[in-house]
């Protein structure tokens, strides 16, 4: 009985962290081979291909979610820090800011808000259409429903 | 190359300086955010960015060298190492996306339509606002591709007559702004519906916006992750056409 519990636990257990990192490295490597195949006029960068690739691998059950879950959660939690060098990269753009700086920054701030609000409202509009025109189910729960 | 420059490269040219500086400013930001009781301008990423730029500028002035030169030779070797880890961090979003595959399956049409039509509306508004502020065609062209991730936005910006460096700056500021202001903007505009909220955060704030969305709800996080991918592809196709149509490209 005790052995049986142990095996079931082992089945749902997270993969060791090095294996999780290995899967990420493998996916990134394959993506970096695919990325140059796209023409320069239609660039698709490595991480975007990697995201789609890992998603497909999960969807077709080639890799289990427990094999990558822990490392993925860790990486996502780190993103704000990982973005610090990108922010500091703006040091190299100080010259551009001198020329049209204030106008550019105002335009960027407004654009950011516009993108967030317009996309969110457009989505609400389409979901409203599903509800009122097609009488569809629009309930979204925090837990996964197995419908 | 002057003697000072050689000394700087010898002592600060190794990656560890950039890594230490990044850690230092970010940890200071986290501490400030904690004692500032979560005041939005004290977001660690925003504080880290401003303080990091200020320290590099100050050090460059102290050594009497060009700021951009100092950034490239002293900070960038270490900064690039941290920056590289954004690659695995981006593909990590496949996991929260897969976990809410139920939402993707049910709402894929709404997701696709909202991103395409929402981007078109946004482009018109961004074009109008940029024109109103007084940006020239070069500035406007640099503003249009910013919904895509930096690696896609920069070449498109160059192709439609913009300056890729300005577009990169826009993409970076998008992320920093969304991370700092998301909670406040969501309240201000009542963006409570999780699917739209997620798509908006992913489009406006890229991967950093998605990290914010995951904190709000699993649905929001999954939607932000899918927005990052789809909006990039849509920008790839739509923005060059839009720029031609508006006569920005000469």
Domain ranges of chain A: 14-80, 89-137
pLDDT above 60 for A6 = no
Q: B40 pLDDT band (50/70/90 cuts)?
A: confident
CB-CB contact of B103 with B47 (8 Å): no
DSSP designation for B1: -
The pLDDT, as a whole number, for residue A7 is 44
Nearest 5°: the CA angle A48, B130, A121 is: 60
Give the total residue count for chain B.
250
Contact flag A87-B53 (C-beta cutoff 8 Å): yes
ipTM: 0.87
Closest-CA distance of chain B to residue A7, Å: 24
Average pLDDT, stretch A92-119?
Answer: 87
Residue B20 has pLDDT above 90, yes or no: yes
Give the pLDDT band (50/70/90) at residue A8: very low
Identify all chain B residues contacting A67, using CB atoms and an 8 Å cutoff.
none
Largest CA distance in chain B: 65
The domain boundary residue, chosen from B84, B116, B151: B84
Which residue of chain A is at minimal alpha-carbon distance from B176?
A87
B32 with B117, same domain: the answer is no
Q: Measured between alpha carbons, how far is B153 from B149 in angstroms, rounded to an integer?
A: 6
Q: Among B42, B61, B84, identify where a domain stops.
A: B84
- Tokens (6 digits) for B141: 């062209």
Share of chain A above pLDDT 90, in %: 51
A28-86 tens-digit pLDDT: 999 999 999 988 878 888 989 999 999 999 999 999 999 999 999 999 999 889 989 98
- CB distance B159 to B240 below 8 Å: yes
Residue A145: predicted pLDDT: 53
User: Does some domain include residue B133?
Assistant: yes
Whole-number pLDDT of residue B123? 93
Residue range A18-32: average pLDDT? 94
For residue A98, pLDDT over 80 is answered with: no
Token pair belonging to A88? 């500091």
Question: Which residues have C-beta within 8 Å of that of residue A60, sequence separation ≥ 6?
Answer: none
Choose among A24, A46, A122: nearest Cβ to B117. A122
Contact B152 A81 (CB under 8 A): no
d(CA A142, nearest CA chain B) in Å:
7
Q: Are B171 and B205 in contact (CB under 8 A)?
A: no
Q: Name the residue among B228, B192, B195, B196 with its Cα closest to residue B211.
A: B228
- Within an 8 Å CB–CB cutoff, is residue A6 touching chain B? no
Q: Is the same domain home to B112 and B236?
A: yes
Tell me what the pLDDT averaged over chain A comes to.
84
Cβ atoms within 10 A of the Cβ of B225, count? 30
Residue labelled with tokens 């998008």:
B174
d(CA B70, CA A69): 39
Same-domain status, B100 and B194: yes
Instruction: Provide the pLDDT confidence category of residue A20 given band limits of 50, 70 and 90.
Output: very high
Return d(Cα B71, Cα B75) in angstroms, integer. 5
| Shared-domain flag, residues B100 and B79 | no
Number of domains in chain B: 2
Contact status, residue B58 vs residue B189, Cβ threshold 8 Å: no
* Cβ within 8 Å, pair A119-B115: yes
A7-11, A98-102, B71-75, B202-206: range with lowest mean pLDDT: A7-11
Using an 8 Å Cβ cutoff, are B141 and B248 in contact? yes
How far is Cα A75 from Cα B94, in angstroms, rounded to an integer? Answer: 12
pLDDT digits (tens, 9 = 90+) for B109-152: 889 999 999 999 999 999 999 999 988 888 899 999 999 988 88
* Domain coverage including residue B111: 90-245
- Answer for the pair B168, B178: CB distance below 8 angstroms, yes or no: no
Could you tell me which of A10, A23, A30 has the C-alpha nearest to residue A72? Answer: A23
Same domain, B119 and B222: yes
| Residue A122 near chain B (CB below 8 Å) | yes
Please tell me the least confidently modeled range out of A132-146, B28-42, B187-201: A132-146
- The answer to whether B159 contacts A41, with C-beta atoms less than 8 Å apart, is yes
Ordered DSSP codes for B142-196: HHGGGGS-HHHHHHHHHHTT--HHHHHHHHHHHHHHHHHHHHHHHHHTT---HHH
On whether residue B138 sits in a domain, the answer given is yes
Contact B211 A72 (CB under 8 A): no
Of residues B101 and A9, the one with the higher pLDDT is: B101
Residue B161 pLDDT > 90, yes or no?
no
Partners of B153 on chain A (C-beta within 8 Å) are none
Q: Do A28 and B98 touch (CB under 8 A)?
A: no
Asked if A24 lies within 8 A of B102 by C-beta distance, the reply is no
Interface test with A, best of B41, B88, B215 (most A CBs within 10 A): B88
CA distances from A93 to A145, B45, B125, B154, B161 (A): 48, 18, 25, 14, 18
Q: How far apart are the CA of B124 and the nearest CA of chain A, in angstroms? A: 10
pLDDT for the residue A62: 93
Q: Residues B183-240: pLDDT tens digits?
A: 999 999 999 889 999 999 999 999 999 999 999 999 999 999 999 999 998 998 899 8
Is residue A13 scored above 70 in pLDDT? yes
- A21 with B213: CB under 8 angstroms? no
pLDDT at A3 over 50: no
Do residue B103 and residue B207 come from a single domain?
yes
Across B83-97, b (16+ Cβ under 10 Å) vs e yields beebbbbbbbbbbbb
Residue B72 and residue B191 in one domain: no
Inform me whether the C-beta atom of residue A33 falls under 8 Å from chain B C-beta atoms.
no
Q: Kindly state whether residue B250 falls inside one of the protein's structural domains.
A: no
Please indicate, yes or no, whether residues B64 and B146 belong to a single structural domain of this protein.
no
The pLDDT-based confidence of A12 (bands split at 50, 70, 90) is low
Q: What is the pLDDT of residues B48-77, one digit of tens each?
A: 999 999 999 999 999 989 899 999 999 999
pLDDT at B8: 84
Same domain, B112 and B193: yes
A116 pLDDT higher than 90: yes
Please check whether residues B71 and B124 belong to one and the same domain.
no
Mutation target to probe the A interface, by most A beta carbons within 10 A, among B120, B200, B212, B232 is: B200
B65 and B107 part of one domain: no
Residue A87 touches partner B, C-beta closer than 8 Å: yes
Q: Is A75 helix (H, G, I), strand (E, B) or coil?
A: helix
Residue bearing the bigger pLDDT, A117 or A5? A117
Contact between chains at A84 and B178 (C-beta distance less than 8 A): no
Q: Using the 3D structure, point to which of B84, B115, B131 is the last residue of a domain.
A: B84
Examine the domain organization and report whether B124 and B145 are in the same domain. yes
CB B83 within 8 A of CB B94: no
């Amino acid at each position: 009985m005790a052995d049986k519990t142990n095996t079931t636990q082992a089945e749902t257990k997270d993969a060791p962290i090095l294996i999780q990192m290995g899967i990420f490295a493998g996916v990134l490597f394959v993506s970096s081979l695919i990325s140059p195949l796209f023409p320069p006029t239609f660039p698709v960068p490595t991480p975007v291909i990697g995201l789609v690739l890992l998603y497909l691998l999960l969807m077709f059950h080639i890799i289990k979610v427990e094999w990558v879950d822990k490392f993925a959660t860790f990486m996502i939690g780190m993103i704000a820090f990982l973005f610090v060098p990108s922010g500091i990269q703006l040091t190299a753009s100080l010259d551009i800011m001198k020329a049209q700086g204030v106008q550019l920054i105002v335009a960027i701030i407004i654009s950011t808000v516009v993108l967030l609000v317009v996309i969110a409202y457009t989505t609400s509009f389409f979901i409203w259409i599903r509800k009122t025109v097609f009488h569809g189910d629009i309930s979204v729960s925090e837990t996964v429903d197995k419908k | 190359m002057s003697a000072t420059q050689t000394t700087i490269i010898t002592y600060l040219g190794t990656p560890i300086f950039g890594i230490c500086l990044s850690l230092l400013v970010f940890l200071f930001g986290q501490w400030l955010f904690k004692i500032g009781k979560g005041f939005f301008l004290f977001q660690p990423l925003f504080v880290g960015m401003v303080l990091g730029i200020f320290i590099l500028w100050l050090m460059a002035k102290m050594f009497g060298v060009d700021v951009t030169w100092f950034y490239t030779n002293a900070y960038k070797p270490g900064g690039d190492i941290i920056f590289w880890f954004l690659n695995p961090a981006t593909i990590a979003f496949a996991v929260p996306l897969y976990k809410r595959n139920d939402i993707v399956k049910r709402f894929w049409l709404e997701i696709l339509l909202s991103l395409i039509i929402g981007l078109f509306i946004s482009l018109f508004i961004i074009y109008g606002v940029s024109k109103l502020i007084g940006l020239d065609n070069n500035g406007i062209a640099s503003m249009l591709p910013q919904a895509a991730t930096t690696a896609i936005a920069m070449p498109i910006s160059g192709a439609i007559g913009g300056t890729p460096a300005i577009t990169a700056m826009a993409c970076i500021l998008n992320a920093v702004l969304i991370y700092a202001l998301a909670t406040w903007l969501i309240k201000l505009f009542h963006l409570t519906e999780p699917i739209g909220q997620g798509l908006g955060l992913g489009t406006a704030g890229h991967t950093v916006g998605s990290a914010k969305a995951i904190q709000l709800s699993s649905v929001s996080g999954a939607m932000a992750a899918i927005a990052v991918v789809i909006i990039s592809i849509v920008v790839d196709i739509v923005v060059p056409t839009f720029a031609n149509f508006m006569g920005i490209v000469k």
